[in-house]
Structure 1
């Protein structure tokens, strides 16, 4: 589960990665390019000016009228039916979104991408005697990583507006990971005709394409001043 984002490059700048992409035809069913992720020591404190935590503003990319545009939205979505009864949703499992009709409006109109340099995710200890720690996940490539998300972003700011990252994984053991794309595959998430069976297949292929992540250090903690 993602606990914090590092977003040095704005979504506006990251649109350049899509400039040469031909989106005239759907690529559903084609192999997913492996996203070579690895765990590294947390960024140094002076590099953390773009660390984003829940309830902070995040830059996102969405498709409107056949064009890509950038929006700013809070990380944490408060559906109208949940206001006052539960905290803002920061993550939404793909299988839950697919199964429940309450998410119909946002899953059709609210799919967005969040361009990040990396993110912090909780790592369970290998033994009961060890404390949980935060691992910093990033890509070996210089291009941004694009996280799948759902966002409600009204033309006139509204108290319910916000964004939730989409997760997928082992439902039985509650092991969820963020749905992360390389630039070559990210726009498939924004395709208007993307059906939710196809989205599930996409997540399954990503699960097989991404390498198994092994911690490089144990009980790694961010330097003081981080998360």
Structure 2
């Protein structure tokens, strides 16, 4: 799953990873976003496409339509998102991307949980596949977005059995394009996502468990991890 992540670089650093020929209406901002502990229920800068233009909107992380009488969902399984009742309309008309640097997962150690920061070995920005209620600039209430997840593999399984679906930067224009057929989007999710071996990870301080805690120290390797 994905329940916490970071988005701390400047928006220009993320956007520079995308193909250069895509049109955008995003205002230039050289200031770092500076978010080291993003939790569900907060608003997140979300890349999406309206008509032929790339847009960036602050959108609620979570999705719960009016008939949903439970807490908003924050993730959607790639294996079922395109066909299930809840997410099929979002997969068809609300594909988006979350700009990120890495994410946190917790591993049980005895009766406690050790948090880990998982990040690309390349050190480059990453992009989570997301789906939600478009158009995003008109989003209201708790009909926001969810992060698409895939099964973990190799060493990542030891930390958690699910992980965010991270798309290659060159696949993002087709993923966002409203003209991309849902079946084609499934192919992109399968063929253009980064494998487990593209990531590294290390234990971090348990202080990341509180959303009140922020700052770059949260992603530093813990001196004395649990266990």
How high is the TM-score relative to the length of structure 1? 0.70
Deviations 1:186-226 (Å, cap 9, x if unpaired)?
Answer: 3332133433433333333356844176765xxx3425355
What is the Cα-based RMSD across aligned positions, in Å? 3.3
Match of 1:165 among 140, 147, 150: 147
Structure 1 residue 156, shift from structure 2 partner = 4.4
Q: Which has the higher contact order (CA 8 A, sep 6+)?
A: 1
- For residues 131 and 120 of structure 1, the distance between their equivalents in structure 2, rounded to whole angstroms, comes to 16
Decide whether aligned partners of structure 1 residues 87 and 161 sit closer, same or farther in structure 2, where only a CA change above 3 A counts.
same
| 1:52-201 alignment, distance < 5 Å | 52-82=38-68, 85-123=69-107, 129=110, 131-153=112-134, 155-169=137-151, 175-201=161-187
1:224 is paired with a residue whose SS is: helix
SS in 2 for 1:186: helix
2:217 aligns to what?
A: none
Q: Does structure 1 residue 224 correspond to structure 2 residue 224?
A: no
TM-score scaled to structure 2, two decimals?
A: 0.70
Offset, 1:142:
4.3
Do the aligned partners of residues 63 and 213 (structure 1) sit closer, same or farther apart at CA in structure 2, a change above 3 Å counting? closer
Match of 1:29 in 2: none
- Indicate if the aligned counterparts of 1:2 and 1:122 stay in contact, CA closer than 8 A: no
> Does 1:20 find its partner at 2:10?
no
- CA-CA distance at 1:122 after TM superposition: 3.1
